[in-house]
């Protein structure tokens, strides 16, 4: 892994001047991931917060070749570009090594982009797919996705007399990707920059498909102060709600283990989207979330043994 001084000298591929919200976790993650690349990069973005806010015509924050795809097909787009590159390389028309990366939010990855992602992984294209996971369709108005946690308020899973927020558990997409048998899969979050950069470097160097599921807090949707972004993402890891781990050629490895496993209540309490769970009639949901997190954490620890 490059040192902090080396990273600081590398070209900024996502430049200042974009219009993502103050405190948004996505641009922090994207900048760190791109810093890990030691060769030229071609990127594609699904429609979403990242795409909309970095490419408002006639301006762009991308200082690399970049493609805007539809919401559902960014994996297919980058796979097509990678295929063209491989064909030209075989013909001797291109000689340099190039990395290919696709960015999609959780809506465009967990939900309507899953088919294209699964297909590209199964075909074995050499590319990195990054899900910047803010746990809802934030760009279109904070609607629930299958990445949204149980009990969370969104505009399509409101809390009230009829229901206490989202009624379903979130989908475990990282494990779904692992089931494809690809060489490298990891979860990370930008509060731990060393962890994220190290995993991005491994992913870029992987001979085949790689996947990063990166927690990227949205203060508008999560209802927290803009200055608390990194703190809240670290709290997710300390509560074991969002473990940092990697699966390299089928072998699990935990990359961060909290010195003290904190109760999930600490993470829920600092976000307005979970405020209603602390009402007496909804406390059972906090207990259910804690039990679920405990089971998943113990299962992960066994896989990492």
pLDDT per residue over 18-43, tens digit each?
999 999 999 999 999 999 999 999 99
Order of all β-strands in the sheet with 66-69:
66-69, 41-46, 99-105, 128-133, 210-215, 184-188, 245-248, 251-254
Classify domain 4-304 by CATH architecture. Answer: 3-Layer(aba) Sandwich (3.40)
pLDDT the model gives residue 99? 98
As a three-state string, the secondary structure of 182-239 is CCEEEEECCCCHHHHHHHHHHHHCCCCCEEEEEECCCHHHHCCCHHHHHHHHHHHHHC
The torsion angle over the Cα atoms of residues 210, 215, 219 and 223, rounded to 10 degrees, is 140
pLDDT per residue over 115-164, tens digit each?
999 999 999 999 999 999 999 999 999 999 999 999 999 999 999 999 99
Q: Is the predicted pLDDT of residue 2 greater than 80, yes or no?
A: no
53 neighbors 138 (Cβ within 8 angstroms): no
Domain extents in the chain: 4-304
Q: Is the predicted pLDDT of residue 6 greater than 90, yes or no?
A: no
Higher-confidence residue: 57 or 181? Answer: 181
pLDDT the model gives residue 7? 81
pLDDT per residue over 150-209, tens digit each?
999 999 999 999 999 999 999 999 999 999 999 999 999 999 999 999 999 999 999 999
């Amino acid at each position: 892994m490059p040192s902090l001084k080396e990273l600081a000298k590398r070209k900024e591929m996502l430049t200042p001047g974009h219009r993502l919200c103050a405190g948004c976790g996505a641009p922090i993650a994207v900048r760190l991931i791109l810093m890990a690349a030691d060769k030229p990069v071609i990127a594609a973005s699904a429609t979403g917060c990242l795409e909309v806010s970095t490419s408002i015509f006639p301006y762009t924050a991308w200082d690399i070749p970049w493609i805007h795809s539809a919401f559902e097909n960014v994996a297919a787009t980058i796979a097509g570009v990678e295929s063209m590159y491989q064909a030209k390389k075989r013909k001797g028309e291109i000689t340099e090594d190039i990395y290919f990366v696709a960015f999609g939010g959780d809506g465009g990855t967990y939900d309507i982009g899953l088919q294209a992602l699964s297909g590209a992984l199964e075909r074995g294209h050499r590319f990195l797919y990054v899900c910047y996971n803010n746990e809802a369709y934030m760009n279109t108005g904070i609607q629930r996705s299958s990445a949204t946690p149980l009990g969370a308020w969104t505009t399509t899973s409101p809390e009230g007399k009829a229901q206490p927020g989202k009624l379903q558990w979130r989908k475990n997409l990282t494990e779904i990707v692992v089931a494809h048998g690809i060489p490298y899969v990891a979860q990370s979050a930008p509060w731990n920059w060393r962890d994220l950069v190290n995993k991005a470097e491994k992913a870029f160097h992987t001979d085949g498909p790689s996947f990063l599921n990166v927690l990227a807090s949205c203060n508008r949707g999560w209802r927290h102060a803009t200055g608390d972004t990194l703190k809240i993402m670290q709290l997710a890891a300390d509560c074991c709600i969002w473990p940092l781990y990697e699966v390299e050629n089928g072998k699990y490895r935990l990359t961060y283990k909290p010195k003290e496993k904190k109760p999930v209540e600490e993470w829920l309490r600092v976000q307005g989207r979970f405020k209603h769970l602390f009402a007496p009639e909804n406390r059972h949901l906090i207990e259910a979330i804690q039990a679920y997190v405990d089971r998943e954490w113990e299962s992960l620890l066994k896989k990492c043994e």
